[in-house]
Amino acid sequence: MRHRLLRDQPARRDRGCRRSGSRTAAAGARADGGTPRVPADELAYMLKDSGAAGVVTQTEFLPGLTGAAAKCPALKALWVTDYEPKPGAPPVVRGFEELRAPAPSAPFVDPILETDVAAILYTSGTTGFPKGVMLTHRNLVTNCESSLKRITLNRKDVTLCILPMFHSFAWTAIVLTSTRLTLKCVIFSAIAPPRPWLKAMGEHGVTLLAAVPQIYAALAR
């Protein structure tokens, strides 16, 4: 599983991807990728480094995130997709439905440029704290189009995403290509055990699986 870190953008050159019909779109937010399976100190570092205004996550990851959020006073909210109100929950924890509020009536007059940063993906940080890799709209679109030149797909195809979304491979080979062609995309939050997503491949008629060598090696056993 993964988090999505949403950042407010004060200047056009930093304007990021917008989510239609939500407060995130109204803020001109940028999506940054972070992994929940790191220590709270590293999560706090990524939140501060990216200037994240909020995080979209799930209940199972709240313990580590609330600890990290306590060190990030600029963080406005932890939006939880499977949110259930609980007594004593920190005020920063909110339901994802809050992001579905109507967009403001006044449209943006500041255009998005292809050179604007659309996302920041964080490295694994094997030699220190994770490094934020800035990707522009042009980066994402070019990678998507390059993938489509190598893979023949039509709108009846169904894709499966089991790769972590804080890596570019999942975005370019699966998420963006599926969005570009309006394909059905089946998303799983964990690679192991493989039985659930292998079963889902048959149930949903998956025709495209993009994976790394370790996954193919495990399937060959």
pLDDT for position 219: 84
Q: Where are the beta strands (DSSP E) in 137-187?
A: 158-161, 184-187
Q: Which residues contact 10 (CB under 8 A, 6 or more apart)?
A: none
pLDDT digits (tens, 9 = 90+) for 113-126: 899 998 888 877 66
CATH code of the domain in which 151 resides: 3.40.50.980
Least confident among 28-32, 104-108, 113-117? 28-32
3 found inside a domain: no
Confidence band of 95 (pLDDT split at 50, 70, 90): very high
Give every strand in the sheet of 184-187, ordered side by side.
184-187, 158-161, 208-209
In this structure, is residue 4 part of a structural domain?
A: no
Among 100, 118, 151, residue at a domain's last position = 100
Q: Which of 100, 123, 158 is at the close of a domain? A: 100
**Total domains, the chain:** 2
Torsion, CA 166, CA 118, CA 57, CA 170, rounded to 10 = -30
* 129-179 pLDDT, tens digit each: 888 889 999 999 999 999 999 888 999 999 999 988 877 888 888 999 999
Indicate the pLDDT class of residue 198, thresholds 50, 70 and 90.
Answer: very high
Residue 42: pLDDT band with limits 50, 70, 90: confident
Is residue 125 situated within a structural domain?
no
17 within domain boundaries: no
Q: Which domain holds residue 38?
A: 24-100
Domain boundary at 78, 100, 122, which?
100
How sure is the predictor about 92, in pLDDT bands with cuts at 50, 70 and 90?
very high
